[in-house]
Amino acid sequence: MKYGYVKVAAGVPGVSLADPSTNTTAIQNMMLQAESKGVEILCLPELCITGYTCQDLFAQQTLLDATEASLLKLMEFSRNLKVVTLVGAPILYKGMLFNCAAVIQSGRIMGFVPKTYLPNYKEFYEQRWFASASVLPDEGGVIHFMGQTVPIKRGLLFEATHCCFGIELCEDLWAPIPPSDHLAVSGADIIFNLSASNELVGKATYLRSLVATQSARLLAGYVYAGAGYGESTQDLVYGGRAYIAENGHILSEGQRFTMNEQLVVSEIDVELLRAERRVNTTFAAAYQLHAYKETTPIELEHFTTNIPFSLSRSVDPHPFIPTGVELDHRCEEILFIQSEGLARRIDHTHAKTVTIGISGGLDSTLALLVAVHAFDRLGRDRRGIVGITMPGFGTTDRTYTNAICLMKGLGITIREINIAEAVNLHFRDLGHNPAVHDLTYENSQARERTQILMDAAGQMEGFVVGTGDLSELALGWATYNGDHMSMYGVNASVPKTLVRHLVTWAAQHIIAEEEVRRTLLDIVDTPISPELLPADANGDIAQVTEDLVGPYELHDFFLYYVLRYGFAPQKIYMLACKAFAADNTNDHYQPDVILKWLRTFVRRFFSQQYKRSCLPDGPKVGSCSLSPRGDWRMPTDAVAAAWLAALEELEEAEAL
C-alpha cells in the first residue's frame, strides 16, 4: 500500500469441472500473475477449486477430499508470495457443507467465510447441497485444518495496516440486506465477492449497476469475480464477469464471454473512502443499528510487494468537469440551481431590480446569464436587471465592447459609470502616486466599483448579485470588501474551470441571438484578468491572472482533493503528476511546475481564509463549497506549516 491505495485484482481462471487438481494449477498461475503486477489482494470466483456447477457431485467424498488436497497445495504455494488470495471451495463443518471463501496468505488459511443467501431458483437449487452461514452461531465456529485452527464465520473482518476487508458470495449481494452492509459499517473498507452468476439477457447491465451502487451506498471498494469458461453449459452459461468499483465508480472491468483467463487489476483508494466516511454522519449512525453484533477481526500480515508502486487507474485532470452528454446535463442543472436560488432571494426581498457589475469577463457574464434565467422563470421584465459597466485604468476595448454588446443583446438595463475620476480623487485624498501601480492602486479601483454597485442597487430598490467564483475564493484572489462582497453570490461554489464551460453551454443551448452567441464565445476566449493595471502598448490585457497565481486548472485540481477528501500534499502532487502527464492530457505540466503552484495554493489557501469567513449567501451547486456556514469552517489563524513542510520534503526528494 502507498498513498492509501490497495492494489486489488479480480481473477477469472479457466475451470475444469470437478477437477480440483487442474483448477489448482490455474489458480496458482493467477496468483503468480497477480504477484508480478504488485497485486496485494486477489479475488477468484465462487467454488473455483471444484467448479460451481458440480451439482450432486458436491456430495461425493472424493471431490471433497480432492478439495482439501488443493487447499493444502495452495497454502504451500503461497508461502513465498506476498499476495493475499481469496478462493472458493466447499468446506465441511459439523456434518454440514458450506459454500465458502478461503483467505490464504503466506502459507496459512486465515479464515473461511460461508455464503449466507443460497439461491433456490428454477435454474439452480444451491440449497440442495449447501447450508447457509445463518445456521452458525453468531460467534461462528473453528475448523482444525492441516494443523491450523481456522475460524468459519460470516462476520470475519480481515485487517492489515491501513486496510480492512470483508467477503460475501454471489447471491449475498442480491439480498434485500446484503452481508456487505453489515461488514462495511463494521469497518470493512473493501468488499470482495466470489461469484458464479449465470448469464441472462440484460442481467449483466443490472449487475454492473448493482456493484457500482453497492460500493456507493457503503462508501467502499467492491471487487467482484465471477465464474467463466469451463463451467457446465447443461442449462446455463457463465460469462466470467469481473468488476472493480470504488464509491459508485467502476474502475476496471473484464471482458464477458472470453475463453481465456482474465486478471482485472486496479487500485482502490482506501484513504479516499475513509475520508468520505469521516464526514458522513449517516455512516456513523448506521454503525449503531447495523454493525454485526459478533465480528471476529483476523489480523493479516502487512500488505507488501516487491513491485514498485505505479497507479494504473486514470486520474481526471479536470475533476469538476464531466465529459460528453454528462457535461450538458451538468451545465443545465447548475444553471437551474443558481437561478432558482437567485429567484427565491428576489421573491423574499421583494426586490424590484438586481444590479450586476459587467466587466466583459467570464464570471460577470455567468452571473448575468443566471440573472436573465431567473427573471425569465419569474416572468419578470429583463429590464429589471441593471448591468453596470465601470471602465477603469485597465479596461480594454475588447472587454468593454463585449460587455456592452452582451447587455444590449440580452435586453437588460445598461448603465455606464467611469471610475477614473473618482479613483484619482481617492488617490489625492490618500496621498498616493497614481504612477505607482501597487496594491493600493488596484484595490482602490475594486472598492470603488463595489461602492457604486451597492449604492446603485439601493437607489433602484434592489440588491447586488456577486460574480466571484469558487477558485478565486480558494486563492483569496479578490479585494476584501471589493469584488469579494455582494448581497447574493451566485457563482460562489462554481470553480473557474467550470465557469468557462457553463458560458459556452449557454451560448450553444439557451441563447437564440447569433450576435449574443458570438459575444459569449469571444468572452470565453478572453484571457482571465481583473484589468486593474493599464493595457499594454497594443491595447491588450497586460494583467493576466494565471501568470500571477498559476493555472486555474491546476488550482481547481488541488482544491478538489483538498476540500473533497482532505488529501495530503504528497498525494495531491502524485495525482497531479499522473493527471497532467504528457500522455494523459494536452495540458501538460512538468512536475516542478506542479510543485511550484501547489506551494502557492497551500500558502494562499491558508492565508486568505479571512476573506471566506464573511462571505455573502450563495447557492451550493456541487460537492465542494467554501461557505463558512456550511461546507468549510476553518480558523482564520490556522497555520500552514505542516503542509508547507510536506512540500519541502517533496522538493528535496525531487532534487535528488
On whether both 39 and 130 belong to a single domain, the answer is yes
The boundaries of the domain holding residue 240 are 5-299
Examine the fold and report which residue of 299, 333, 356 is the final residue of a domain before the chain moves on. 299
Which amino acid, one-letter code, is at 72? Answer: L
Contact 462/388 with Cβ under 8 angstroms?
A: no
On whether both 276 and 380 belong to a single domain, the answer is no
- Report pLDDT for 217: 96
Q: Per the residue annotation, which of 7, 115, 571, 611 is the catalytic one?
A: 115
HSE of 434, CA atoms in CB hemisphere, 13 A: 15
Q: Supply 286's cell numbers.
A: 448506521
Task: Please confirm, yes or no, whether 115 is among the known catalytic residues.
Answer: yes
Residue position matching grid coordinates 493576466: 544
Residue 375 lies in a domain: yes
**What CATH number is associated with residue 409?**
3.40.50.620
Residue 158 lies in a domain: yes
Q: Per the residue annotation, which of 48, 170, 331, 624 is the catalytic one?
A: 170
Tell which residue, 635, 629, 605, has the closest CA to residue 617.
Answer: 629
Which residues on neighbouring strands pair with residue 43, listed in sequence order?
10, 86
- Report pLDDT for 356: 98
- Report pLDDT for 305: 79
Task: Please confirm, yes or no, whether 293 is among the known catalytic residues.
Answer: no
Measured between alpha carbons, how far is residue 134 from residues 117, 127, 151, 218 in Å?
A: 8, 13, 15, 22
Strand pairing report for 296-299 and 156-160? parallel
Q: Kindly report, residue by residue over 190-219, the tens digit of the pLDDT.
A: 999 999 999 899 999 999 999 999 999 999
Provide mean pLDDT across the span 47-53.
97
Task: Please confirm, yes or no, whether 48 is among the known catalytic residues.
Answer: no
Measured between alpha carbons, how far is residue 11 from residues 45, 226, 241, 506, 607 in Å?
A: 7, 8, 10, 46, 49
Residue 447 lies in a domain: yes
HSE of 265, CA atoms in CB hemisphere, 13 A: 17
Residues 6+ apart with CB under 8 A from 65: none
Which residues on neighbouring strands pair with residue 416, listed in sequence order?
389
Determine phi and psi for 94, rounding to 5 degrees. 50, 45
Cα–Cα dist 505/108, whole Å: 58
Residue 311 lies in a domain: no
Residue 304 lies in a domain: no
Starting at the earlier edge strand, list the strands of the sheet with 353-357: 413-416, 385-389, 353-357, 462-466, 488-489
On whether both 270 and 374 belong to a single domain, the answer is no
On whether both 281 and 345 belong to a single domain, the answer is no
Residue 352 lies in a domain: yes
- Report pLDDT for 574: 96
On whether both 101 and 185 belong to a single domain, the answer is yes
Residue 312 lies in a domain: no
Strand pairing report for 413-416 and 221-226? unpaired
Examine the fold and report which residue of 299, 334, 350 is the final residue of a domain before the chain moves on. 299
State yes or no: pLDDT of 373 exceeds 80: yes
Which amino acid, one-letter code, is at 256? Answer: R
- Report pLDDT for 656: 66
Number of domains in the chain: 2
On whether both 120 and 183 belong to a single domain, the answer is yes
Mean confidence (pLDDT) of the chain = 94
Question: In the structure, what pLDDT confidence band is assigned to residue 585 with cuts at 50, 70 and 90?
Answer: low
Residue 628 lies in a domain: yes
Examine the fold and report which residue of 255, 284, 299 is the final residue of a domain before the chain moves on. 299
Determine phi and psi for 157, rounding to 5 degrees. -115, 120
Query: How many CB atoms are closer than 10 A to CB 603?
Result: 16
On whether both 577 and 474 belong to a single domain, the answer is yes
On whether both 246 and 394 belong to a single domain, the answer is no
Cα–Cα dist 472/457, whole Å: 24
**What CATH number is associated with residue 91?**
3.60.110.10
SS3 of residue 198 by DSSP: coil
On whether both 459 and 593 belong to a single domain, the answer is yes
Q: Quote the distance between the C-alpha of residue 303 and its chain's center.
A: 25
Question: In the structure, what pLDDT confidence band is assigned to residue 122 with cuts at 50, 70 and 90?
Answer: low
Q: Supply 415's cell numbers.
A: 448603465
- The Cα angle at residue 343 between residues 339 and 344, in degrees rounded to 5: 120
State yes or no: pLDDT of 1 exceeds 80: no
Residue position matching grid coordinates 479536470: 318
On whether both 108 and 19 belong to a single domain, the answer is yes
On whether both 340 and 293 belong to a single domain, the answer is no
Q: Per the residue annotation, which of 40, 46, 267, 442 is the catalytic one?
A: 46
Provide mean pLDDT across the span 280-303.
85
On whether both 401 and 277 belong to a single domain, the answer is no
- Report pLDDT for 162: 87
Strand pairing report for 96-105 and 108-114? antiparallel
